Copies of this chain bind each other. A is one copy, B any other.
Amino acid sequence: MESKPNIQDVARLADVSIATVSRVINNQGGVRKATEERILKAIKELGYIRSAAARTMKRKETKTIGVIVPDIKNPFFPLVMAGIEQKAREKDYFTILSSTNESPIIEEKIVKNFIERGVDGVIITTANEDGEHLKLLREQNIPVVAVDRSIRSFEVDTVLVDNIQGSYQAVQHLILQGHRKIAIICGPQNTTPGFERFLGYKKALEDYNIPLDDRYVVQGDFGEYSGNIATKQLSELEERPTAIFSSNNLMTIGCMKALNELNWGLGYEVSFVGFDDVDIATFLNPKLTVVARPMNTVGEIAFMFLHDRINFKDDIPKRKYSIPPELIIRHSCRLINR
């Protein structure tokens, strides 16, 4: 095992030229059976593995895509990643993953490193939607797909989850169960998800001719505590809502704690739907109905977009895909009589 064997060593051992060896390791055919076997044997004997670096230099492609996420510890991303990897493997692509810790500085370094490595494309949830720091990708003409967050400074294929439709579905579900006094615990209205999820709520009420009641719209900040407070606020209304829609997972948790503290009966006294599934959802009794984002699908579509872009470059127009979230009906909503 002196030093790594190369194609020369194999050729020598099999007593052929390197070109023939190359043909064999690339399955290009046109090699006599006997020769091929001799080569295969030599490869095995030497433990030869071809160098991707050398190959890349000729081929100008690496069959590798880079994935950049802001926080690998957030369970959303590993799930998306799983979807990407699965599709990538089907198409014989490999995936390299880096996490930026929400830092655009680190993100830029990663991008540069990915380019050095010659990734064929990049899937990114950027730490900064401005995207100024991503210009390198544009300049190098490297295909990019944005996931969950868009990029403003240049056009790329984008895969988002449809917030409006998601909260619409949630609220509609409540309405169809007979609820009219439906409260929403909002996220910050200056963020896209916060605002859009409120929009979906509003739209559902409008479509079913239910007037928007300001008392039932309480503000939160996507944090657990705010969900807790908001719920208590709702409980103090003389006319309590019969249903609550929470705009995100953390506030859902705060809300559950409040319901518990207040002895406000989940499911029978007040129905509930939350945006985003949470671990505790099936642990609670009754189990929580939620709007879940299909992370796996997000990843799959992201890869498919990227794959198309790698193969067709600028021949196809940039695409945007809004994935409808999925309403997972469990047991936290009850039919009520009006």
Taking beta carbons and an 8 Å cutoff, which residues of A are in contact with B? Answer: 1, 4, 47, 49-54, 56-57, 62, 72-73, 75, 77-79, 81-82, 85, 89, 94-99, 106, 112-113, 115-118, 136, 139-141, 253, 256-257, 260, 279-280, 283, 285
Contacts and interface: CB of A to CB of B under 8 A. Distances in A.
B118 A51 contact: yes
Contacts of A50: 116
Nearest to A4: B140
Please tell me how many copies of the chain the complex holds.
2
B52 A118 contact: yes
B96 A96 contact: yes
A77 B54 CA distance: 32
A53 B57 contact: yes
A293 to B, nearest CB: 15
A273 B113 CA distance: 45
8 contacts: A49-B112, A49-B115, A49-B140, A51-B118, A53-B62, A72-B81, A75-B78, A95-B98
Contacts of A98: 85, 94-95
A221 to B, nearest CB: 19
B97 A97 contact: yes
A47 B140 contact: yes
Nearest to A118: B53
Given A53-B56, A72-B82, A256-B283, 20 more contacts: A1-B139, A47-B136, A47-B139, A49-B116, A49-B136, A49-B140, A51-B57, A51-B118, A52-B117, A53-B54, A54-B57, A73-B78, A73-B79, A78-B78, A85-B98, A85-B99, A95-B98, A96-B96, A96-B97, A260-B285
A1 B98 CA distance: 27
A253 B285 CA distance: 13
Contact of A72 (B78, B118, B136): B78
Given A141-B1, A280-B283, A75 B75 contact: yes
Contacts of A115: 49
Contacts of A116: 49-52
A283 B57 contact: no
Nearest to A49: B115
